[in-house]
Structure 1
Amino acid sequence: MFSEKTKRRAAYWGKKLECPVDEDANYENTYWCNRDLIPMPEDRRVWTWQGFAGYWIITGANNSAWTAGSTLLALGLSVGQSMGVIVGSALIISIIAITAGHMGSHNYLGFTVMSRASWGMIGGFWPVLNRIVTACIWLGVQITWGGQAIKIVLGAVIGPKYAFMKNTLPLSANIDTCSLVSFFIFLVIFCPLLLIPPEKLQMPLKVAFVLIVCNIFGMLIWSVRTAHGPGTLLHSPAVASGSTLGWNVVYGIQVILGLWSGGIVGQSDWTRYAKTPNASIFGQGVTAPLTIIITALCGLIITSASAQIYGQYFWNPFELLLHIQSVSMTPAARAGTFFSGIAFLASQLALCIVLNCVSTGMDMAALCPRWINIRRGCCILTVIAVAVCPWNFVNNAGKFITVLSGWSVFLSGMTGILIGDYFLVRKTQLHKGDMYRGNRGSAYWYTAGFNWRAIVAWIMGVWPLLPGFVRRVRGTNTQNGWDHVYDMSYFFGFFVSLAVHCLLHTIFPAKKQTGASPFMLELHRTAPIMIGLEANDHADSNDEDKVSKAGKETIVPV
């Protein structure tokens, strides 16, 4: 079908476009492995507790936390009850983050590779694809809000000529000309940041979280001082009562957990860069809940106080700043919105990289490791995020948030399987080399590359939630049994999938279910090399034989 010349040319470019390999590397680019998927080498483990504290300030002090109060008040809760739900949810997020991050900080493996252990070498693509789909939408939304930050900054600098430029787009576009221009300006600033390796992001994140903290408290002081108090919203009573109130509290917890579900299940993507095994715990255990709680509380107070000033509620901080520019372009207003816009710009840049690009870049690398690494995955993700025209989702925020927060229906079961498999089935012991071996010799090949136990466990944790999920999205829920099961969706999916997965592994144990062996690859050019061998790792009895025979036999790439 193809000439020899065409085949040679394709082979040449296929080799030319392969992911870069380190000099004197102890790995090769294969269908299962590249530089970004191997257990993190010691020289790349550079993140300290300050880096993780900054990570969680950026992750916690975002639009989701800021507007969490409005979501809960809409369910009929009072401000006090809403804050109680946020506190409880933040503590649960913290606990899951610490637990899910253990496999990264102690075994230096990310979510992408760990999924192979619990789902099978081929089955592991399923949870990875779920995260990719979610991240494509979320990144697009975050870029859209980043465009709004650009609009605020340039509106303050240039003035009304930019902020209120004539709209030349039709109403059906769901975006105005100024916002679209700002969207692409944000992209121009954002794309070069994708070239920064994850291990070198600590300093940019530190700068971002200083700006974020100063901005939140600056807006809080301004709003309360200008309104001569926090406003009347904080004294609003609960609208719901009785069992309806109780179930709305439970559902509110699921909504908050759902907004962070994608980030916490993939904590090991970042903890594998930890300099010490416990470097991430302060950020996850202290900074994470505090940041979410304080951001939500400040969001409530700023919204309440600004309503006293402008006569309407602005739950979204971007909309508040744009409204300030629309009613006043005094030097003070322009200076205030400029510095606040710069802080939100830094926040959105950091969020896009930290919460979406790096983790999803590694997920995409798992789809085709020979030609895709984290950096290339980030670029592909960005292209898709722009192509979906994310401003359409932002302009239908109500249903959009319901769908994305409800995505925890699928992710909660995956989180339960991941944690249950690592701690209860394998007792934190892993055959690391087998995670890069796509054949029957791998401990994680199971049945044709799929672990049917995980599949059954996930289905059992998901299917009872689907009727309530559909009814909630359609707005037809009537608080029947299916609706109440969905109100407990995260806990139900997590614990049911965890329990079924562990039970099936107990009844039907898999080959090499426990025990540990080091990361080892058989290379074309050298003898097998072992890295990541820790004091508590126990090599297979065959490992020494493999190494001793390596110089005598032909080495086949895994």
Structure 2
Amino acid sequence: MFTKEKLSYWAKRLKVPADEDARYKTDIWCNRDLIPIPKERRTWGIWGYCGYWTVSGSCVSAWTIGSTMLSYGLNAQQAMACIAVGGVITGLLAIGCGWMGEVHHIGFTVSSRFSYGMRGAYIPVIIRYLPTSQLAKNDFIGFIIALILFGFLMQKPFIASFTTFVGTMFGMLIWAVHANGGSAGPLFKSAATTDNVGWAIMYGITAMIGSWGAGCLGQSDWTRYANRRGAPTLSQLIFAPIFITITALIGVVVTSCTVEILGLETIIWNPIDLLPVIQQFYGNSSGARAAVFFASIGLVLSQLAITVVLNSVSCGMDMAGLAPRWLNIRRGGYLMIIVGVLVQPWTLVATAQRFLTVLSGFRVFMAPMTGVMLADYFVVRQRKLKLNDLYRGDSTSIYWYNRGFNWRGFSAFGLGSVFLFPGFIAAGGGYSIPIAWLRLFNLTFILGTVFSFIAFLIINYFFPPPGLGEESPFYLDGADDYATKGDWKAEIGAKDEESASEEKAAETEISEFPVL
């Protein structure tokens, strides 16, 4: 039976450890992973962010997104145009959403506090979870094995996963084009099969943006580790569209070739589903089994890496914000394994239709959150933050608002999403609604971001929040006179310049990830 003494003992044992000689307090608002990243932990350079996008952009999701668009009536050229445009917009979103991390060195969890309030910031974190579904026995066994491997691979270098996936991509590309006599297949010769090409293209672009939208929304979780100003900017603008587009192009070519090679009646857009079909086509020969085995390794390692980068670490950062006293990034990542089993997300991509429906549904929430954050940080606050107040859970903080909630952020969020729900409900449940609502839903991420952005600006124009224009650094030692000397901006600028001059190649390896 637990006594008061035992509970106190375990509470101390389970409390998140702080740095040695830490000058911050680990409580319900703050821990080591939530404070603005100090200089010694800012280790990411240009090639570090290149490495991030090699993992995020060269993966199964990028392979399938172009092929999935084909199932909605677009031809190959139109699908690739959607990917290219969506990739550029993704890079721009990553820059905008990551700006506060690059400048103030805070992540999405903390930055949500100035838009939604100290307590209200819990809600944007919680709504990231996915719905439930079902799984067959053999797939469940594979899922458990993947979780075990994932647990051992957390926070390890990912250069091996990128290398093996690239090998799988180009290996399948060379085989497909060679086996098809040098032809790219019928999908590059066929016309669009839809009468509404314009709307299908817009849907493809928004589906593309939405598939990376959640990652862009939390981009400050990664840019806060930049060792100098500007390190993430060109990396994200250039490498994001390049890696995503190349991967998607290869996926479309391989998918197109296999239609003729294998005599398929339906398009197999997922390489995981395609590999066993290829093995059967060659009569389960030893060569086919070996090729499928090595190709599968590349796919598995890629999925493990993307899970760590975009799910584990990001989820750990969010959970650290929910319970900073008990959870940090590492603990949150392992907790995600447990949650991952409970919510059973494995059939979200069972079909092309379900895949895009899930992405669209996710955008109904992610897009308005993106619009609110961009409007608040860049326009309303003019990039000025009072960092210490982001860690104060009482009325002395300008971000406390009304009992910890900022009604402005939630109102703009609601206005940005309310027009999208009819289409979302119809798409998920098969209900019949006017075509205009479905077309609004097809543009979910673009319209959701724009609607909430404008709504937030209008609301704050008539009801400005407290503390506009105020800014100050984060005081590790609570020395308030540090902010009144007027030289902290110059000191921060000098430190950034010093960091830039001291950047070394060893600090910018592709396999480098933040010390968590």
Quick check: TM above 0.5?
Answer: yes
Deviations 1:59-101 (A, max 9, x none): 1122222122333222222221121111111111111111111
Q: Which of 257, 271, 277 is equivalent to 1:317?
A: 271
The answer for the alignment partner of 2:344 in structure 1 is 389
Identical counterparts, % of pairs? 41
| TM-score, reference length from structure 1 | 0.82
The answer for the alignment partner of 2:289 in structure 1 is 334
Structure 1 segments of 4+ aligned residues over 6 angstroms from their partners: 527-532
Distance 1:470 1:180, change over 3 A: closer
Q: Which of 168, 176, 195 is equivalent to 1:223?
A: 176
CA contact (8 A) 2:59 2:165 kept: no
The answer for the alignment partner of 1:98 in structure 2 is 95
Alpha-carbon separation, structure 2, partners of 1:450 and 1:372? 23
Distance 1:174 1:111, change over 3 A: closer
After superposition, residues 231-250 of structure 1 pair within 5 angstroms as 231-241=185-195, 244-250=196-202
Alpha-carbon separation, structure 2, partners of 1:391 and 1:299? 21
Paired residue total: 486
Alpha-carbon separation, structure 2, partners of 1:337 and 1:530? 61
The answer for the alignment partner of 1:162 in structure 2 is none
Alpha-carbon separation, structure 2, partners of 1:44 and 1:537? 15
Q: CA deviation at 1:55?
A: 1.2
Alpha-carbon separation, structure 2, partners of 1:207 and 1:335? 19
The answer for the alignment partner of 1:26 in structure 2 is 23
Deviations 1:455-487 (A, max 9, x none): 111111111111111112223456522222222
Q: Which of 140, 159, 162 is equivalent to 1:206?
A: 159
Q: Which of 139, 151, 158 is equivalent to 1:191?
A: 151
Q: Which of 365, 368, 374 is equivalent to 1:413?
A: 368
Distance 1:221 1:324, change over 3 A: same
1:44 and 2:41 matched:
yes
CA contact (8 A) 2:213 2:363 kept: yes
Q: Which of 202, 206, 218 is equivalent to 1:266?
A: 218
The answer for the alignment partner of 1:403 in structure 2 is 358
Tell me which amino acid in the other structure corresponds to 2:62: A
1:452 and 2:407 matched:
yes
Q: What SS is found at the alignment partner of 1:519?
A: coil
Residue segments in structure 2 that go unaligned for 5+ positions in a row: 494-516
Alpha-carbon separation, structure 2, partners of 1:456 and 1:182? 43
After superposition, residues 62-73 of structure 1 pair within 5 angstroms as 62-73=59-70
Q: CA deviation at 1:107?
A: 0.8
1:430 and 2:385 matched:
yes
Q: What SS is found at the alignment partner of 1:513?
A: coil
Tell me which amino acid in the other structure corresponds to 1:377: G
CA contact (8 A) 1:31 1:369 kept: yes
Q: CA deviation at 1:400?
A: 5.0
Deviates more, 1:388-397 or 1:74-83: 388-397
Alpha-carbon separation, structure 2, partners of 1:293 and 1:500? 33
Tell me which amino acid in the other structure corresponds to 1:212: F
CA contact (8 A) 1:521 1:530 kept: no
The CA RMSD over aligned residues, in Å, is: 2.4
Q: What SS is found at the alignment partner of 2:475?
A: strand
Deviations 1:272-330 (A, max 9, x none): 11122222223311111011111111111101112222111321111111222334433
Deviations 1:222-249 (A, max 9, x none): 11011112221211111223xx222222
Q: CA deviation at 1:394?
A: 4.5
Distance 1:469 1:375, change over 3 A: same
Tell me which amino acid in the other structure corresponds to 1:303: T
CA contact (8 A) 1:39 1:519 kept: yes
Deviations 1:139-196 (A, max 9, x none): xx9xxxxxxxxxxxxxxxxxxxxxxxxxxxxxxx74243x3333222222110223x3
Q: What SS is found at the alignment partner of 1:100?
A: helix
Q: Which of 295, 298, 303 is equivalent to 1:343?
A: 298
Distance 1:79 1:478, change over 3 A: farther
Alpha-carbon separation, structure 1, partners of 2:432 and 2:91? 30
Deviates more, 1:18-27 or 1:248-257: 248-257
1:486 and 2:446 matched:
no
CA contact (8 A) 1:517 1:537 kept: no
Deviates more, 1:342-351 or 1:72-81: 72-81
Deviates more, 1:481-490 or 1:424-433: 481-490
The answer for the alignment partner of 2:508 in structure 1 is none
CA contact (8 A) 1:51 1:205 kept: no
The structure number with the bigger radius of gyration is 1
Alpha-carbon separation, structure 1, partners of 2:481 and 2:316? 27
Alpha-carbon separation, structure 1, partners of 2:423 and 2:141? 40
CA contact (8 A) 1:415 1:494 kept: yes
| TM-score, reference length from structure 2 | 0.89
Q: CA deviation at 1:534?
A: 4.6
Residue segments in structure 1 that go unaligned for 5+ positions in a row: 142-172, 539-558
The answer for the alignment partner of 2:256 in structure 1 is 304
After superposition, residues 107-126 of structure 1 pair within 5 angstroms as 107-126=104-123
